[in-house]
Structure 1
Amino acid sequence: MILSVNNIIKKFGTFTALEIENLDFEEGKYYVVLGPSGSGKTTLLRVISGLEFADSGSISILGKDMTQAPAWKRDIGLVFQNYALYPHLTVYENIASPLSVMKIPRTEMIKRVNELLRVMELTDQAAKYPGQLSGGQQQRVALARAIIKMPKILLLDEPLSNLDTRVRIDLRDYLKKIQKEFNLTAIHVTHDPIEAMALGDEVIVLHHGKLVQKSTPVELYNHPNDIFCARLLGAVNLIPKDNLDMNTGLDYEICEIRPEDVKFDDAGNFHGTITSVQFLGSEIMYYVDIGGFNIKVKCDKNCNNHNEGDVVNLLFKNGEMNFYKSGKRINSIISSQ
């Protein structure tokens, strides 16, 4: 493991911001830490980086205890939400600044900066100042400055949140490309579930400072550990057993199924009436009332042959239901409702 976080507790006064029992990171992977505001995401990043010190527990990097080591000794690159560029330095000078501090020979510095300018598609911006760049360009400069010294670990704190949607998607793809090209171990904080699933080799979900789930995006989306995770990852049907009993034989309270896994089918056992239709561009979301309970059904934009007021049968897709008791997933089973 390149990084291990063990029994970390971080408090601010009487408030416990972070309480992580064990969290390991493998070299060369892209990790995304996901959670709502106040979940402990940025606190975890700051404790890993050495910008904050935990009240108890340990941090090890490549097997070496770094719990009390200052940030500059941890060989970590940082990319912030607000770019944190030097406004009086050019793009070239901003990227070169870590190497200047390290007293890297000038010829080596020029070679490395020029290479990163090329990779980041910033060569023609090298003589400009941050104030002359777009938000996406500034964030690429910040990224280049963070990786110029080839840190063991790259930490990114909400790096895309200040960008508009189009630029955010472009830079999201760029981040993944750069991480793979340089074989970086990246730990990226976000509150955006789409960003997390698009970027992460593994996604780490935090809630109230505690680890809720650590898994691949596919596993997290299909089999969330609890109802909090299920809701966090996007639209979901949470169906109380008292409203619609799936007749599974399980002692469950809530059935969870994603809207795209509910289908219109004459063979379906559940009958309802469409109460609302929402066109979402590439998809359509239908709301179907079954005995006073609304079920969301999502299909592609070509599935447009249903209208408000239509009476329909619903089929719940095999193997895509999860069952919960006291908020925790108890099983996933194949069903043919």
Structure 2
Amino acid sequence: MLKQSTLFRKLPLFDACEQQSAQNWLPLEITQLSAGPYQGQLREIQHHDVSVFFEQQNCMVHKRGIMVDPFCTVSFARSTNAQVRLSEYDSQDNSLFFIPSESEVDVQVAGDVETVYFRFNQAKFLERARAISPQYWATVPDSALIFESPLRKSLEVFSHHLYSHPLFQSDAEVTNDNQGLCSFIMDRLLLALDESSVNHDVRQDLIARYRAKERVNQALDYIHGVLENEGCPSIVDICVEMNISQRNLQYSFKKILGFTPNVYLYHLRLNRARAQLIKADNNNITVTQVAMYWQFWHLGRFSNDYLRLFGELPSVTLSRVLT
């Protein structure tokens, strides 16, 4: 008998950075974009080469990172008319998203939308995918794909049946026979994709969104690089770096993220400040130090904006962490 680890987790989430650190297999930054005290939940089952995640939060978030080797994911939003964006694509009722290994993860999710995603070992996933559709999966996709699947609703039922399965309620001693369950889960997703149509939409609006997304990603890469070096770029800095007009930059951010670059950058800095306060491990750190580090020079405005976004003052966050 082979001892295998079956993991079942149900985690309450009270902050975007908690949600981020809960998925330590994926280098990801999650930024809270809508106001209010953060509440969410991550449910997870892991068995052999398959993991299923159910993720929900009450605030709009932007998730950005890279899908690490050797994993790929298939995901969907579990609600009608869910406001979910993956790269330049907006989710529809029957949308399935495929994110291959080593590709960009760029997802924006509205509040109170549950996303479900299946994580697979990509090599094993593609081996089975090529068996049923050798022509389509002959080459490995190098970026995220969106499928329109008539089986999306049945996958929702299937995923929640999995979550209630007795095997996934606690650590269990299983035999090699249970590898068949992993193949069954993977095959269910593969068949749903095989019955789907890939979105090859070449409308002018989608082309414009793709170009805007590329500009936003270039700007965000520059912003993150400056922030990591204890600086804070201005809009002029970004325009100079990218050789782009302010009007074009504003258009791109509004088109993709729904925010101006100034507003998004301000939210990003507030999220970074909150993450630093939450990770404080000694009494020597102060709210003023954190505010100054992230270049909030007006402490009163910083505290008010922090309260508006997160539902508590920065001093309350820090005292809660240190007590």
TM-score by length of 2: 0.24
Q: Comparing both structures, which one devotes a greater share of its residues to strand?
A: 1
TM-score by length of 1: 0.23
Largest Rg, 1 or 2: 1
